[in-house]
Structure 1
C-alpha cells in the first residue's frame, strides 16, 4: 500500500509542460523508476523501525546520496542543453529544476512512509485515508509561488528615440540598424513588472529571476530571432529609481494579453528569493 501511494504521489508530480522537461518518454521512465525506488524505501523503513532493525534504515542515507546524484545529473544535463537555446533558462532556473526533482523524491518517501506506518500500526483503511491525505499534501507542495504573488504586470508601449529603445520610460538598449528598428516597431511587446514590497524588489533584481521571465515568455510565445542577432534578443532592465522591471520581447505570436498572463505565472525561483526586511538591522530600525 505504501509503495502504491508513493508511486501515485510521483505520478501526480510528473508532467511534461511547455518547457518539455522531462522529455517524453525516456525522461519520464527514468523519474518513474526513481519514484518506485523512493516509494519502496519509504514503505520498507516502517517495518524495519518497528523491529528495531536500524541497519536496514541506513539504506535511507544511501538513497539520499543517490537523489543528490540525480540532482547533479539534472543540473549537468540541462546546462549542456541550455547552450543550444535561443533564449536560455539560465543557471538559477536550472538549479531550481534540479532541486525540484531531488525534493520530489523525498515527498514520495514521505507519502509511502506515512501510508505504511498508519496501515501497520492502526489498520488498512486508516492507511488508505493517510495515503490520500499525503497525496493532498504532495499536491499542495508541488508548485511554489509565481510572479503574481509578488508583483503586478502591465503592458507598456515599446518606443524608439533615435537608436535608443524604451519600454514605457525604462531604457532597454541601443538599436542602430534601421532594419532591426522596423522589426521592433512591428513585433515588439513591452511589459512593466511592479514589485509589491522591498522583498519583491530584491527578488526581481536577481538576474536569474529576470532570465526565467524571458525564457518562459519566449518558450510559449516563440522568439523572433535567429542565432547571431544580438539586437533582437529579449531583455529585462531595472528602473534604478523605483525597481520596476521593464521587459522587452519579440515573439513569433504577438499577443500582448497572453504575454501579461505568462509573466504573472512565471515561477519564483527559490535561489532568487531575497528578504531584506527580515534582516535584524531592518527589524531593529522598525
Structure 2
C-alpha cells in the first residue's frame, strides 16, 4: 500500500496548531517593550506564529506516517527561527536613532531573545499538544492544550524590577547652586538657571532601593538603568528635544557613597508620580543584568 493511501488522523495536528498559535498570540501585544509596532510588526510576527505552530504540530504526524524526509525538512525549517533574533535586533537598533530616549543595547538584546524564544515555545506547545491529543483523544487534548499554554506563559514570564527593588518618590533639590539631587542621590550638574527652575517646578524624582543583593547587582548594571529611563519616559513622556542633554531622563547610582541606591530624575509631560512608579516597577529585569557579586562594588564590602 502506498504512503498516500495511509489514513491520517488530522485532529492532533489541528489541536496542536491552534494551541501553538494561541500561545504565541497571548504574548503578541505591545507591552513594556512598546514593540512590535502597528501594523507591520504585528503582521510579520503573526506570520511567524503560524509557521511555528504549523511546524510543531506537523512533526509528530510526519514521523508516525514514516515521512522522514518531511520531518527532516520541518526540523530544518525550525532552525531558521534563529534569524528572528538578528532581524529584531537590527530593526530596533535602527529605531534607536529616531527616539529621544533610547532603550539601550541590553534591552534590545532582551527583546530579540524573547521573540526568538517565544517562536520556539509555540512550536513546543504545538508538539506537546498534538502528542497529548493523539494519545488521549480530543477532549484530553484540549484540556492538555490549556495546561501546556498556561505552563508556557508562566515559564516565559520574567522577573520585574518591582520584585527586587523598592521605588519611592523623592524630592528634587539643588546643592551648591547647580548640583541636582534626587533625595540623597546626586544626579548631575545643571549649569543654566532656566533648566534648574524647570526641574524644581516640573521635575519628578524617585529613589530606587534594592531589597536584597540581587537588587543591588541589577541596579549597578548600566543597561538596566537605561531601560528604566526608557520605561519612565514612555510612561509619563519627557520634555526633551534634540540638543538638550540636561532634559534627558537619568537613572544614576548614589556615588561616591556606594550605598546600592539609585535615583531617577525626569521632566515629564504627564505629571503623574503613581504612573511613573508603576512603569519603573514593571520594567523587566534584563538578561544582561544577571546576578554577579562582582558587578556591584558594595556587595563584597564588610559592614563597619
TM-score (norm 1): 0.92
1:266, 1:188 → 2: CA distance? Answer: 21
Structure 1 residues 93 and 123: CA distance shift in structure 2, 3 A: same
1:254 paired residue among 262, 271, 274: 271
Equivalence for 1:117: 131
1:196, 1:19 → 2: CA distance? Answer: 24
Equivalence for 1:174: 189
- Contact 2:55/2:78 (CA < 8 Å) preserved in 1? no
Equivalence for 1:212: 227
| Alignment pair present for 1:234 and 2:256 | no
Q: CA deviation at 1:271?
A: 1.9
Structure 1 stretch displaced more, 259-268 or 67-76 = 259-268
Q: Deviations over 1:231-261 (max 9, x none)?
A: 1111111114211011111111111222122
Q: CA deviation at 1:229?
A: 0.2
2:32, 2:108 → 1: CA distance? Answer: 15
1:54, 1:194 → 2: CA distance? Answer: 56
Equivalence for 1:9: 23
Q: Deviations over 1:182-211 (max 9, x none)?
A: 111111111111112222211111111001
Equivalence for 1:72: 86
2:206 paired residue among 188, 191, 194: 191
- Contact 1:22/1:28 (CA < 8 Å) preserved in 2? yes
The two structures, once aligned, show a CA RMSD in angstroms of 1.8
- Any idea what SS the aligned residue of 2:206 has? strand
Structure 1 stretch displaced more, 219-228 or 112-121 = 112-121
2:30, 2:193 → 1: CA distance? Answer: 40
| Alignment pair present for 1:263 and 2:277 | no
Alignment size in residue pairs: 278
Equivalence for 1:245: 262
- Any idea what SS the aligned residue of 1:58 has? helix
| Alignment pair present for 1:81 and 2:95 | yes
1:31, 1:233 → 2: CA distance? Answer: 32
1:109, 1:234 → 2: CA distance? Answer: 40
- Any idea what SS the aligned residue of 2:31 has? coil
Equivalence for 2:9: none
Matches within 5 A, 1:56-71: 56-71=70-85
1:239, 1:79 → 2: CA distance? Answer: 30
1:244, 1:55 → 2: CA distance? Answer: 58
- Uncovered stretches (5+) of structure 2, i.e. residues with no partner: 1-14, 300-304
- Any idea what SS the aligned residue of 2:81 has? helix
TM-score (norm 2): 0.86
- Any idea what SS the aligned residue of 2:80 has? helix
Q: CA deviation at 1:121?
A: 2.6
- Any idea what SS the aligned residue of 2:205 has? strand
